Chains A and B, each alone.
Chain A
Amino acid sequence: MEYPTIEQLHTKLINKEITVADLVAEYVDRAKASDLNAFREIFADTDIAAQVAVAEAMFQQGTATVLTGMPIALKDNILFGGHVVSGSSKMLEHYTASYDATVVAKMKEAGAVIIGRTNMDEFAMGSSTENSAYGPTKNPHDTSKVPGGSSGGSAAAVAAGLCVAAFGSDTGGSIRQPAAFTGIVGLLPTYGSVSRHGLMAMGSSLDVIGPMTHTVGDAKIFYDAFKGKDSYDGTSQEQSIAVSLKKKLAMPKFDKGGIDPEVLSNFEMIVEGLKKEGFTIDEIELPHFADALAVYYILMPAEVSSNLARLDGIRYGDRAESVSINDVYGDTRGALFGPETRRRILVGTYVLSHGYYDAYYNKAVALRATIRKELEQALETYDAILTPTTPTPAFGIGEKVNDPVSMYLSDLFTVPANIAHHPALSVPSGKSAAGLPVGVQFIGARFGEETLFALGKIVEDIR
């Protein structure tokens, strides 16, 4: 099913062919009728109506932006003041945000209509949404399959036309992998290009908020509306590199044995298509590209174990009835964190503990610097590094949930960009014989999002 783009809808609103109220009602009605479990909550009619009124007023006053009146969704880890935001965890089931994330404040200024919050793996830890405390989200292309994760609710909501665009967050692939699994566009922006203020921290040296949309054009419009420097996030910066395509792309040498044959043949088709468009595509050695996955599964849990220490039954959320303070901490966390969250906290504690710190954490930090240098060097010569987004199309619900390491392997191609702080764009590139979407990924130079959008649009034309 094809859904209209942001520009098409904006034109209709400007020409008064539709009203904001009609547009929002169309998407909200579909969201309410959907049984994908994409939304954790669709906001109250009165709440949505108030936002619609603001948007209508902006059109009347001539202050409307291209996003004014667009029904959008928030991942359940982005704070929206006065609304419950749970991280899809039991821990924060009743937590109401005290303030707006910077990206939410920017959406309010733009007049977008936030219709709900979407399901995700608990605290963004997972690749399938099966780690949500509120049940998995289903893939709209085949409801027996996962939509990917951790931003699986956002991906399914966009893919099924339940919103025009949605926010995701990407720590190791959590925007791009579900985008590929559901046939939509997902961008991991350059680390620091979007404020993390109001995003529930998972791995602070890795987390980035990004757009999930139907088209590359929509991704650009949406991203442009929420990027930028913010005094509340010291790592944020304002930078952008203009597009000047060298028409040269690199593919890292990788072990093709672990890649689904249909993903490979689709990838080869896109490579051939790009060559016909005049691109030179070289297979290059990136000796530590594949090591990024192990580096990621050391650094990320280390950061998780520190960041999630604040969820202790004292400061936020729910709390165990225990008496002594140590029991309140331990019992609250033991009872209210799901299995994967507990695993990552324990692994993070292990790699940071005395006696193992040098062998794991420090080694991973050193390797991270090497991976970063390798990507940087390659991107001096090439416009982007091209890979399949994921090694396989969407897998079955329940298929990998009891085997964490096999689940981690679906992040093979996506984690290097996070590790190196480079932007990466996943674009739908076709479907498997069974009708499941697959995607290709471009990893670009830091702050080179414009180049990625230009490349993504070419894939949209040739796929």
Chain B
Amino acid sequence: MSKTLTVEETKRLATLARLTVPEGELEAVSQDIANILGFVDTIQSVQLGDQAADSSNLTNVFREDAVHPLAAAHDLIEVAPLHQDHFVKVPKVIE
């Protein structure tokens, strides 16, 4: 099935995905995504009976809500591109 996606729609997706797509690539990216959506659209024609959305009988797995010391805590902060003491530095969020 063929599908189309406008440049405006792609820009909207890019905003939702927090992903800057350069102006010059918008046309090509829109075409690629339309092709992929056209390919997966085949599932629309598949008729399913009264299926439960998920029949896999999955159960939740819980563990005890207990505190464990984490030796690598400091290392996890260190991998942030900008950090200071025990904090990750982020740009101002509220203008």
Q: Write the chain B residue with the least CB distance to A312.
A: B18
Which residues 36-95 of B have a CB within 8 angstroms of A?
Answer: 36-37, 39-44, 46, 48, 51-56, 61, 63, 72, 75-76, 78-82, 88, 90-93
Contact B18 A343 (CB under 8 A): no
Query: Which of B19, B46, B92 has the most chain A CB atoms inside 10 A of its CB?
Result: B19
- Which residues of A have CB within 8 Å of B81? 313-314, 316-319
Contact B20 A330 (CB under 8 A): yes
Which residues 331-389 of A have a CB within 8 angstroms of B?
Answer: 331, 333-335, 337, 342-343, 345-351, 353, 359-360, 362-370, 372-373
Q: Write the chain A residue with the least CB distance to B80.
A: A315
| A347-B33 Cα distance, complex, nearest whole Å | 6
Question: What is the distance, in angstroms, from B79's C-beta to the closest C-beta of chain A?
Answer: 5
- Which residues of A have CB within 8 Å of B52? 369
Q: A404 touches which one: B35, B79, B92 (CB < 8 A)?
A: B35
| A165-B87 Cα distance, complex, nearest whole Å | 40
- The dominant DSSP class at the B interface is loop
Contact A316 B79 (CB under 8 A): yes
- Which residues of B have CB within 8 Å of A305? 17
Contact B16 A349 (CB under 8 A): yes
| A364-B71 Cα distance, complex, nearest whole Å | 41
Question: What is the distance, in angstroms, from B59's C-beta to the closest C-beta of chain A?
Answer: 11
The range of chain B's interface size is 35 or more
Question: What is the distance, in angstroms, from A266's C-beta to the closest C-beta of chain B?
Answer: 28
- Which residues of B have CB within 8 Å of A314? 80-82, 88, 90
| A98-B83 Cα distance, complex, nearest whole Å | 15
| A316-B36 Cα distance, complex, nearest whole Å | 30
Contact B36 A330 (CB under 8 A): no
Question: What is the distance, in angstroms, from B88's C-beta to the closest C-beta of chain A?
Answer: 6
Contact B35 A366 (CB under 8 A): no
Contact B17 A372 (CB under 8 A): no
Contact B36 A343 (CB under 8 A): yes
Contact B88 A315 (CB under 8 A): yes
Question: What is the distance, in angstroms, from A18's C-beta to the closest C-beta of chain B?
Answer: 37
Evaluate whether A326 and B88 lie within 8 angstroms (CB atoms) in the complex, with A235-B61, A347-B33, A408-B39 already known: no
Interface assignment of A405: CB less than 8 Å from any CB of chain B? yes
Contact B54 A365 (CB under 8 A): yes
Contact B43 A333 (CB under 8 A): no
Q: B33 touches which one: A333, A343, A363 (CB < 8 A)?
A: A343
Interface assignment of A298: CB less than 8 Å from any CB of chain B? yes
Interface assignment of A324: CB less than 8 Å from any CB of chain B? yes
Interface assignment of A294: CB less than 8 Å from any CB of chain B? yes
| A330-B81 Cα distance, complex, nearest whole Å | 16
| A295-B42 Cα distance, complex, nearest whole Å | 9
Interface assignment of A43: CB less than 8 Å from any CB of chain B? no
Which residues 148-201 of A have a CB within 8 angstroms of B?
Answer: none
Contact B43 A334 (CB under 8 A): no
What residues of chain B have their CB less than 8 Å away from a CB belonging to chain A? 10, 13-22, 29, 32-33, 35-37, 39-44, 46, 48, 51-56, 61, 63, 72, 75-76, 78-82, 88, 90-93
Assuming A346-B14, A366-B48, what are 9 further A-B pairs, CB within 8 angstroms? A95-B79, A325-B93, A330-B20, A343-B33, A347-B37, A348-B17, A353-B13, A367-B43, A404-B36
Q: 16 A-B pairs, CB-CB below 8 angstroms?
A: A95-B79, A235-B61, A294-B42, A314-B88, A325-B91, A335-B20, A342-B29, A343-B33, A346-B14, A349-B13, A364-B40, A364-B43, A367-B48, A370-B48, A405-B35, A408-B36
